[in-house]
């Protein structure tokens, strides 16, 4: 299959490049910038893209292309496209010069195309592009010419006279470059002439082969299943590869939504016929440890530690029973890795991730089959692997579950009240056919009592807040301007049907400054 290789120089958008190319129908793979030439040759690339990165080409330890790179691409006539740092490193290696520019360019900039060329074909003479750089190309090596400029960057794009080496100072892979996809399309189709043969089914096949190779024919794997999209898709994929040598552990921490533990068991044990699905009911343990604890951080800590304890205990039992358990599988996806900055040797640390990692002394090798995928790709794969659309399209649910939505100390009675209200909210949202357009919709138990009246009786009950937000990535979010009639119906049903709530309020805060969750 025709392949475009992306060499990773540590830029935060590197994986987006491969993803866009796959979306355009050509298989693309990311390799570290210092991949040995032999390994690169084996991939038989139709084209190579050099990603951006946080370094400057003049930094002492700046990442370098492998020796023999240009000899190889010239002999094999493999087109190369450099982006940002990639754009600089090509020029430096071939004898041009780069210099720091006093006016750093970040954000949207107007690009002027100064010479007709294949890479920027079908674009207007002026286009908006996304810049993020401090250095810029000053002098081009012989045989190169500038093909586009901006007000502050005279060589914002270049090509060589064999029409096979191109560079762009800006980022075509981000959505802020509106014609970015056209540029990548031009590179893969018009310049690299690669065939569009990539399908998600192929990824599934390749991934199953990889899992089999890694695990072997007798070893076993443990996976912590939360019932969320990522761990569910990882489980089904691994199960397809190694069958019942996969042991899934599902912990009911007493903080799940209504019927969740039943649904997860039904899906995996009954529908998908997982023989080694281990359900652990730890509700009492979690709730007893959370009793009278009202500090949000303390609650999270207790939940995190208790989970590890329960998971570890079960793993140790399983390891005693099956000594050939060698791997721990995780549903890590690409954005999780960006957050933990484990993407590549040269990526800059962005922020530390708030989810749990299991202790190192578990001595199991980690396998993360979804680690290069984005959420929407994981969803598509899940559907292809036969998971229900309802599970695949589920809203994100935080690890500490309803504990962060039941404010202050939690107890079973209040959690049950919350579960009922939340169930009604989701039922009505689904009936209104808007579930999939929302990022999250949930109820919150506010431990404040207000007076109400039911028939002839005065009531004095707790308050239910409804939080419904729209978002692309949870970094920012807007409250959803739901239809008043729908809100009225939800509020009325909650007050009438849920014992424990006599008043419902709608949360109209955006993020920032508010967060999506309450604790």
User: Active-site positions?
Assistant: 84, 171, 173
Give the residue, chosen from 199, 289, 380, 511, that forms a contact with ligand XMP under the rule CB under 6 A. Answer: 511
Minimum gap (Å) between residue 432 Cβ and ligand XMP: 21
- DSSP annotation string for 150-199: -SS-TTSEEEETTS-EEEESS-TTSTTSTTHHHHHHIIIIIIS-------
Q: Is residue 96 part of the contact set for ligand XMP (CB under 6 A)?
A: no
Minimum gap (Å) between residue 206 Cβ and ligand XMP: 29
Choice between 23 and 517, CB closer to ligand XMP? 517
Minimum gap (Å) between residue 15 Cβ and ligand XMP: 20
User: What order do you get walking across the sheet with 144-149 strand by strand?
Assistant: 27-32, 3-8, 47-50, 80-83, 165-168, 157-160, 144-149, 97-113, 126-139
Stretch in the footprint of ligand XMP (CB under 6 A) among 20-28, 321-329, 330-338, 397-405: 397-405
Give the residue, chosen from 66, 396, 408, 452, that forms a contact with ligand XMP under the rule CB under 6 A. Answer: 396
Stretch in the footprint of ligand XMP (CB under 6 A) among 175-183, 187-195, 253-261, 393-401: 393-401
| Burial (CB count <10 Å: 0-12, 13-18, 19+), residue 347 | buried
Choice between 112 and 355, CB closer to ligand XMP? 355
Give the residue, chosen from 398, 424, 441, 461, that forms a contact with ligand XMP under the rule CB under 6 A. Answer: 398
Q: Is residue 517 part of the contact set for ligand XMP (CB under 6 A)?
A: yes
Query: Which residues, in sequence order, are CB contacts of 53 under 8 Å at separation 6+?
Result: 8, 9, 10, 11, 14, 33, 63, 84, 85, 86, 346, 347
Instruction: State the greatest distance between any 2 C-alpha atoms of the chain, in Å, as a whole number.
Output: 91
CA distance 323 to 311: 17
The pair of structure tokens assigned to 38 is 């032999």
How many Cβ atoms sit within 10 Å of the Cβ of residue 139? 12
Stretch in the footprint of ligand XMP (CB under 6 A) among 79-87, 88-96, 158-166, 508-516: 508-516
Query: Which residues, in sequence order, are CB contacts of 266 under 8 Å at separation 6+?
Result: none
Q: Is residue 354 part of the contact set for ligand XMP (CB under 6 A)?
A: yes
CA distance 34 to 452: 68
248 contacts 277 by C-beta, under 8 angstroms: yes
Stretch in the footprint of ligand XMP (CB under 6 A) among 5-13, 323-331, 338-346, 398-406: 398-406
The pair of structure tokens assigned to 419 is 């579960």
Show the DSSP H helices in 322-346 as ranges: 334-340
Q: Is residue 355 part of the contact set for ligand XMP (CB under 6 A)?
A: yes
Choice between 75 and 297, CB closer to ligand XMP? 297
| Burial (CB count <10 Å: 0-12, 13-18, 19+), residue 191 | buried
Minimum gap (Å) between residue 340 Cβ and ligand XMP: 13
The pair of structure tokens assigned to 30 is 């990311």
Stretch in the footprint of ligand XMP (CB under 6 A) among 20-28, 134-142, 394-402, 423-431: 394-402
The strand pair at 457-470 and 501-506 is best described as parallel
Give the residue, chosen from 141, 296, 399, 408, that forms a contact with ligand XMP under the rule CB under 6 A. Answer: 399
Minimum gap (Å) between residue 228 Cβ and ligand XMP: 8
Stretch in the footprint of ligand XMP (CB under 6 A) among 62-70, 111-119, 364-372, 392-400: 392-400
Residue written as token pair 């002839």: 456
Q: Is residue 516 part of the contact set for ligand XMP (CB under 6 A)?
A: yes
93 contacts 137 by C-beta, under 8 angstroms: no
Choice between 32 and 396, CB closer to ligand XMP? 396
Q: Is residue 190 part of the contact set for ligand XMP (CB under 6 A)?
A: no
> Can you count the helices (H) and strands (E) in the chain?
15, 18
How many Cβ atoms sit within 10 Å of the Cβ of residue 216? 13
Choice between 322 and 439, CB closer to ligand XMP? 439
CA distance 394 to 137: 47
Stretch in the footprint of ligand XMP (CB under 6 A) among 141-149, 188-196, 336-344, 396-404: 396-404
Choice between 70 and 439, CB closer to ligand XMP? 439
CA distance 135 to 105: 9
Choice between 247 and 394, CB closer to ligand XMP? 394
Choice between 416 and 517, CB closer to ligand XMP? 517
- Quick check: helix, strand or coil at residue 52? coil
Give the residue, chosen from 19, 400, 441, 482, that forms a contact with ligand XMP under the rule CB under 6 A. Answer: 400
Minimum gap (Å) between residue 469 Cβ and ligand XMP: 8
Minimum gap (Å) between residue 222 Cβ and ligand XMP: 20
Choice between 66 and 304, CB closer to ligand XMP? 304
Minimum gap (Å) between residue 399 Cβ and ligand XMP: 4
Q: Which residues pair with 467 in a beta bridge?
A: 442
Q: Is residue 474 part of the contact set for ligand XMP (CB under 6 A)?
A: yes
Compute how many residues bind ligand XMP; rule: CB under 6 A: 12
Q: Is residue 515 part of the contact set for ligand XMP (CB under 6 A)?
A: yes
Note the residues at the interface with ligand XMP (CB under 6 A): 354-355, 396, 398-400, 440, 474, 511, 515-517
């Amino acid at each position: 299959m025709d392949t475009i290789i992306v060499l990773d120089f540590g830029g935060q958008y590197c994986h987006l490049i491969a993803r866009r190319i796959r979306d355009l129908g050509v298989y693309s793979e990311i390799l570290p910038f210092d991949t040995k030439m032999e390994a690169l040759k084996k991939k038989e690339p139709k084209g190579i893209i050099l990603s951006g990165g946080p370094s400057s080409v003049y930094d002492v330890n700046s990442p370098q292309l492998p020796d023999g790179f240009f000899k190889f691409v010239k002999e094999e006539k493999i087109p190369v496209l450099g982006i940002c740092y990639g754009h600089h490193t090509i020029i430096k290696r071939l004898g041009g010069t780069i210099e720091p520019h006093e006016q750093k360019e970040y954000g949207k900039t107007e690009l002027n195309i100064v010479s007709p060329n294949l890479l920027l074909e079908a674009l207007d003479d002026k286009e908006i592009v996304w810049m993020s750089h401090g250095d810029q190309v000053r002098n081009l090596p012989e045989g190169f010419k500038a093909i586009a400029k901006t007000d502050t960057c005279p060589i914002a794009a270049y090509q060589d006279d064999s029409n096979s080496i191109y560079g762009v100072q800006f980022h075509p892979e981000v959505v802020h470059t509106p014609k970015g996809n056209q540029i990548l399309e031009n590179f893969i189709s018009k310049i690299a002439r690669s065939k569009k043969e990539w399908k998600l089914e192929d990824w599934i096949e390749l991934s199953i082969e990889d899992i089999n190779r890694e695990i072997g024919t007798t070893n076993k794997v443990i996976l912590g299943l939360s019932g969320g999209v990522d761990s569910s898709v990882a489980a089904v994929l691994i199960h397809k590869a190694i069958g019942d040598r996969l042991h899934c552990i599902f912990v009911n921490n007493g903080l799940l939504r209504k019927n969740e533990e039943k649904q997860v068991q039904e899906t995996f044990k009954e529908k998908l016929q997982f023989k080694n699905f281990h359900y652990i009911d730890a509700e009492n343990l979690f709730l007893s440890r959370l009793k009278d604890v009202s500090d949000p951080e303390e609650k999270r800590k207790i939940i995190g530690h208790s989970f590890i304890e329960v998971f570890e205990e079960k793993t140790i039992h399983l390891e005693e029973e099956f000594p050939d358990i060698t791997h721990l599988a995780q549903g890590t996806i690409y954005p999780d890795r960006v957050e933990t900055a484990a993407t590549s040797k040269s990526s800059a640390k962005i922020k530390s991730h708030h989810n749990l990692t299991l202790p190192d002394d578990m001595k199991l090798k980690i396998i993360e089959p979804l680690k290069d995928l984005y959420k929407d790709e994981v969803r598509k794969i899940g559907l292809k692997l036969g998971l229900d659309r309802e599970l695949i399209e589920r809203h994100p649910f935080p690890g500490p579950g309803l504990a962060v939505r039941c404010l202050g100390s939690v107890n079973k009675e209040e959690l049950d009240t919350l579960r009922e209200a939340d169930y009604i909210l989701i039922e009505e949202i689904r009936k209104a056919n808007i579930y999939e357009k929302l990022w999250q919709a949930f109820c919150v138990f506010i431990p404040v009592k207000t007076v109400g009246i039911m028939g002839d009786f005065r009531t004095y009950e707790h308050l239910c807040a409804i939080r419904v937000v729209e978002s692309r990535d949870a970094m920012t979010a807007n409250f959803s301007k739901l239809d008043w009639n729908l809100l009225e119906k939800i509020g009325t049903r909650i007050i009438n049907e849920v014992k424990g709530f006599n008043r419902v309020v709608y949360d109209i805060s955006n993020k920032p400054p508010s967060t999506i969750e309450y604790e």
